[in-house]
A and B are shown apart, each in its own frame.
Chain A
Amino acid sequence: MASFNLNINGKEMQVDVDPSTPMLWVLREHLSLVGTKYGCGIAQCGACTVHLNGTAVRSCQLPVSSVGEQEITTIEGLSGNGDHPVQKAWLEVDVPQCGYCQAGQIMNAAAFLKSNPNPSDAEIDSAMNGNICRCGTYVRIKKAIKIAAETAGS
């Protein structure tokens, strides 16, 4: 066990955990931020995606000891009131079915659009391919990403 001071969603948070603990479980079980989801534990499904200094990472592969003072943003901290352009586009298109993977999809899409504000279809496919949606909402996710790109750009 060791104590870690973390910067999560703009707040200082302290946890006392084994240094090998992935951020996924630190967020979910020590900080009650359960929007970040467990899907595979081996970085193959994208359900656990968070931002590390603004870049999308798989929190299941991110040991708490490696984070230091870097900024972590989770789905709960993406916007003040669920009004990030990507979240708004998701609601407009009514993307979710079961909804379980969507936090990861949104976090990945938000980071992607920051680096590529006007993506082509092929670029969206390539950026999103690591995020599985078992319900098959891929067509709507792509539509929502395009709407978010337009909204953010206008």
Chain B
Amino acid sequence: MGRRMFIQSSTLAGGGLVLGFNWLASCKREPEVVGLQMPGEWYEMNAYLKIGDNGVVTIMSPNPEIGQNVKTSMPMIVAEELDVDWGNVIVEQAPLKTDAFTWQVAGGSRSIANGWEPLRMAGATARQMLKEAAAKAWQVPVGEITASEGVLSHESSGKSAGYGEMASAAAKIPVPEEVTLKEPKDYKIIGTSRRNVDGKKIVTGQPLYGLDYRQEGMLIAMPVHAPAFGMKLKSFDATDAKAMPGIKDVFAINLYNENFPRGGFDHSVFDEIIIVLGNTTWEVMQAKKALKIEWEKADDVAVDMQFFGNPMTLKHPAGLESTQVHKEQMNLLNSKPGKLVRKDGNPEAAFRNAAKVIERTYSCPFLAHNTMEPMNFFANVTADKAELVGPIQTPEWTEPAAAARLGLPLEKVDIMMTRMGGGFGRRLYGHFVVEAAAISQQVGAPVKLVYTREDDMSQGTYRPAYLATYRAALDKDNKLTAFHVRAGGIPESPLFANRFPAGAIDNYLAEDWTIDSNITTGAFRAPRSNFIAGAEQSFLDEVAEAMGKDPIELRLELLDRAMKDPVGEGNDYEADRYAGVLKLVKEKSGWGQEQGNVHRGVSAYFCHDSYVAQVLDLVMDNEKPVVERVCCAIDCGIVINPDAATNLAEGGIVDGIGHAMYSQLTFKDGVVEQQNFDKYRLIRHSEAPRNIDVHFVDNEIAPTGLGEPPFPPVMGALANAMYKATGTRYYDQPFISPQQKRVIG
């Protein structure tokens, strides 16, 4: 590794600072929990780490933790470069501090990728400062000092000291502008499996989550939003509700006010909500039922917003929408030419001259994220400041929105991150943070806003509904001559026109379309990929079958073309790495050696800069499909924490099978037809694969995404295996509707 610059932040100045803790007690990994002695004094080396006088090290995990395990893996990277024994490390959730940390967001599978450089630099600069302190103390050249596993040594004089002994002096050393980072071959922590730093707290039920957070005098606020998309509040009578025990107030509040510069990640179509405020959740839940509310139809809504500096208008047409009508609208639009997004060669002529054209249409429904911990947030807003605590994937985007809504300067608003009971993209959208803040400001008390499961599932911010038609042209020799995709959705298109197989086929056409809706949507684990991967990979399976080719061989031939002689411009994948995971999964799954009753499907996809290939083995048990095994090959560059990475990939696979097979959200006259887990089907224990084996490509490429990439392709592998098992192709998700099969218990 070359020498790297470390951007010095304001927090790095004035070394030797002895710090007090002001962080959430629930977010700490206390020394006693990990069997460590508390030091007498802490010395801050930089925003990421401080060293105790006894050598114990505290490393701050900068990013929000949603279950992707960054609270363990990000500090591991710092510890690697600091070169300290992991057993001497205490991990804490860092505060939101955008001048000190890089990209404090859990989204786009970017935490490790974006943190890779600054996390290593934080550890390496501190190690260098310790070395310089030792060199000064021992009056020897700094180049002769070595630092390893928390010990500084000088070989020729035989002198050595623990980091703790040098920490006080090291913290006063100016931060080096350049340091040398380790070579991957020298890693001692990166690439080794380390357990979840919150594991013990999780299995003993300690407070960790936003919903667990409380402060003295805190009130519970629960929202009531319109019962249907396309409706809004007309009037309400809260006389009875206010008279109920424990109820403090009932009022309507708007999320938005004139100051509010909407930025896309704070949007809710239910601007005006009724808030019931009381002492306890149960009392507030009862009072909600006693409200008498009149709703009326909403008008067309057009929302102007600044989306990362780009003006954007979100349109919510008036009306009460239904799934049946959505399907008709989508099929109609998909039957006409869409907006041209990419064209290579002459696809029209290739299709005209084709000996055979294969055309298939795929669809998927809206989905709710359904994080197990429903939306909630704590807010304590006083005249001059706001303290906000809870589960949010985008604290650094949400804080400015809250400040604007409250009319407070940004520096007077603090968001503290709790561990999250799931994210999946839902908690990128911080409208509930702003709501909690506005409520606390209005009532002048600390408040925790809590959504019920029903509030959460019927609020919006869903995975969009999508539809795609694929066409392939084969010539008389059964050669693939053209490829066409037309895709769209409500309200966005799932198309990635520059992804495979673009670049691998001479004649290629990609078009798309969109339909506006008043049902709000948002990023759902691997947005757009979470549909288009399964559709594309199912279609390729059918094309391979029509060509009489092995499905892995067809993909490898196409990738070989893309590698040697790519078609067109802007292909956004590396064909050799793509082929690499296919070859690895072929080997590890024993492709071609399957037993008689095992039905196999393969799939591969690239998203979030990572490559994943999967082979899914299915057996039929009394006409019920059982996933016997999923074999998964992943190229995401350097893997920080292999067992945790495997866990995340396993989860993505279970999640993908579950949503493709069972889940859907449908609408009738604007009303969500599934508002809790009695009607909304999520995958259950008995439906999970019996075995999952995950294999990582071993390379020294800087780490890329992992939270999302294993999720989309498995839907294609499942559909392809289902076809082998049943003789039927599965085009429309969920493959098994809740009406058909209910496999609980």
Contacts and interface: CB of A to CB of B under 8 A. Distances in A.
Interface of A: 1, 17-18, 20-22, 25, 28-30, 32-42, 44-45, 47, 74-76, 78, 82, 87, 90-91, 94, 96-103, 106, 121-122, 124-126, 128-142
Contacts of A103: 202-203, 205
B264 to A, nearest CB: 25
Contacts of B691: 139
A124 B202 CA distance: 22
A28 to B, nearest CB: 8
B204 A82 contact: yes
Interface string B671-687: 00000111000111110
Contact of A99 (B202, B655, B744): B202
Nearest to A83: B204
Contacts of A131: 685
A96 B199 contact: yes
Contacts of B203: 75, 82, 87, 90-91, 96, 102-103, 106
A96 B643 contact: no
A58 B198 CA distance: 25
B218 to A, nearest CB: 10
A126 B371 CA distance: 23
A17 B282 CA distance: 10
A18 B283 contact: yes
A20 B285 CA distance: 12
Given A41-B453, A44-B676, A132-B372, A125 B686 contact: yes
Interface in B24-47: none
A20 B286 CA distance: 10
Given A94-B643, A96-B199, A136 B209 contact: no
A4 B397 CA distance: 46
A100 B281 contact: no
B738 to A, nearest CB: 13
B433 interface: no
Given A37-B373, A42-B677, A139 B422 contact: no
Closest 4 pairs between A and B when the two form their complex, measured CB to CB = A35-B205, A136-B654, A98-B67, A100-B421
Contacts of A35: 204-206
B690 A132 contact: no
A98 B373 CA distance: 10
Contact of B282 (A22, A33, A128, A141): A22
A103 B208 CA distance: 12
B745 interface: yes
A136 B700 CA distance: 29
B692 interface: yes
A34 B196 CA distance: 20
B281 to A, nearest CB: 6
Interface in B55-95: 66-69
B655 A136 contact: yes
A83 B499 CA distance: 49
Contacts of A32: 214
Contact of A137 (B208, B286, B650): B650
A42 B281 CA distance: 15
B639 to A, nearest CB: 15
Of A76, A94, A135, A139, which is in contact with the most chain B CB atoms at under 10 Å from its CB?
Answer: A135
A82 B677 contact: no
Contacts of B689: 139
Nearest to B285: A41
Given A21-B282, A132-B372, A42 B647 contact: no
A134 to B, nearest CB: 5
Contacts, number: 189
Contact of B370 (A98, A122, A134): A134
A96 B745 CA distance: 23
A90 B281 CA distance: 31
B66 to A, nearest CB: 6
Given A94-B193, A99-B202, 15 more contacts: A25-B281, A34-B207, A37-B211, A38-B281, A75-B205, A96-B196, A97-B67, A99-B196, A100-B371, A103-B202, A125-B686, A132-B682, A134-B655, A136-B651, A138-B688
B422 A141 contact: no
Contact of A138 (B202, B204, B654, B677): B654
Given A90-B203, A98-B419, A135 B686 contact: no
Contacts of A22: 282
25 contacts: A18-B282, A18-B283, A20-B282, A21-B280, A25-B281, A40-B676, A40-B677, A45-B372, A45-B677, A47-B372, A76-B205, A78-B204, A94-B193, A96-B199, A99-B196, A125-B685, A128-B685, A129-B685, A129-B686, A134-B682, A135-B655, A136-B650, A136-B653, A136-B683, A139-B654
B198 A99 contact: yes
Given A41-B453, A91-B195, A139 B676 contact: no
B319 to A, nearest CB: 30
Q: Which of B195, B420, B651, B690 has the most CB of A within 10 A?
A: B651
Interface string B212-239: 1010000000000000000000000000
B52 interface: no
A97 B452 contact: no
Contacts of A30: 280
Nearest to A74: B205
B159 to A, nearest CB: 40
Interface in B723-745: 744-745
Interface in B614-645: 643-644
Contacts of A44: 676-678
Contact of B452 (A41, A47, A122, A126): A41
B745 A129 contact: yes
Contacts of B286: 20
Contact of A97 (B200, B647, B744): B647
Nearest to B744: A129
A45 B685 CA distance: 12
B245 interface: yes
Contacts of A130: 684, 744-745
Given A44-B676, A97-B68, A131-B685, A25 B280 contact: yes
A14 to B, nearest CB: 16
B688 to A, nearest CB: 4
B652 interface: yes
B422 A135 contact: yes
Given A37-B211, A100-B421, A138-B685, A29 B281 contact: yes
A42 B199 contact: no
Interface string B552-564: 0000000000000
A136 to B, nearest CB: 3
A94 B199 contact: yes
Contacts of A129: 684-686, 744-745
Nearest to A141: B685
Given A34-B212, A136-B655, A75 B688 contact: no
- Residue from the set A1, A45, A124, A128 with the largest chain B CB neighbour count within 10 Å: A45
